[in-house]
Amino acid sequence: MHMFISDSHPRKRSLDLRHRLTNGFRKGLVADAGLIAHGRGECFDYLLGEKTCVQAARAEKAAAAALLSAENPVISVNGNAAAMVPRGLALLSKATWAKIEVNLFYRTPARERRIAAYLKKNGVKKVYGLSKKHRIPGLGSERANVDDPLWKADVVLLFLEDGDRTEAVKKMGKKVVVVDLNPLSRTARKADITIVDNIARAVPAMVRQARKLKGVGSKRLTRMVKAFDNKRNLKEMERLIRRG
Ligand code: ATP
Ligand code: MG
């Protein structure tokens, strides 16, 4: 088992992520469909040179401002996010006072419990989502069930989310921030702030930005969020990928 995370070469970093994911799969944190989704992500990441571009950095800053200025910010965590950046999620939650709720697309209570335990082991104080008290309107099946924090949230951060669920969460009137390497996905297009970057870079970047913005007043934070133009940012990202 190789651990390359401290190595600076992008190829090695992406190999390390693959290890984290396949390990997560063996431990029952990651769904089989999560492995396939990661492969799609890697493909886009490759086209972006496996680095954070200026457009993504801009979105990460706006995302940190959105979480900090929210009244009830929530980070919705799935198996891939938990397996790849458990510590980063703990730090982000601490830096933004956002609650962490486990919400799976292919939901089983056992997998949710394993993910919650894994997050706690990595420094997350409290994990929500083990009791689902509400249903997102307009969505069928298990994936509609959520806990109190997501139900009440005004700003929600989502990772590798499906387009239907993103749309349903938006329809509830929430501000949606997503991390998705595919700028053309329905999720990327529906969100208020779309971060086209790898989770493994996006989460630490948001932690850094949130720490920098600590102490900034809520009026200025809100202005920063308003000034961010997601449509334009996405257009630029798409151009970047198409040009290669
Ligand atoms: P949509 O439902 O939004 O139209 P989709 O069905 O292609 O998109 P999903 O499986 O619902 O995609 O969500 C997975 C998304 O997450 C994909 O767009 C993929 O590129 C992206 N993704 C995968 N791995 C990562 C990663 N490590 N970091 C960021 N994004 C990722
Ligand atoms: Mg989908």
- Whether pLDDT at 133 is above 70: yes
pLDDT at 14 over 90: no
- Has residue 2 got a pLDDT over 70? no
What does pLDDT average to over the chain?
94
78 lines ligand 1 (CB under 6 A): no
Pairing of strands 99-102, 175-179: unpaired
Is the sign of the CA dihedral 96, 99, 102, 104 positive or negative?
Answer: negative
Q: How far apart are CA 219 and CA 216, in angstroms?
A: 8
> Which pLDDT does position 45 carry in this prediction?
94
186 Cα–ligand 1 center, Å: 9
- Asked if the model's pLDDT at residue 233 lies above 70, the reply is yes
| Statement: residue 141 has pLDDT above 90 | no
Domains recognised in the chain with CATH numbers:
9-243 (3.40.50.12640)
Residue-level pLDDT at 242: 86
Name which residue sits closest to atom 1 of ligand 1, judged by CA. 163
pLDDT of residue 244: 67
User: Is the minimum distance from the CB of 10 to ligand 1 under 6 angstroms?
Assistant: no
How confident is the model over 94-107, as pLDDT tens digits? 999 999 999 999 99
CA 96 – CA 146 distance, rounded (Å): 21
Closest by CA position to 171, among listed 180, 179, 163: 163
Instruction: Give pLDDT tens digits for 37-66.
Output: 999 999 999 999 999 999 999 999 999 999
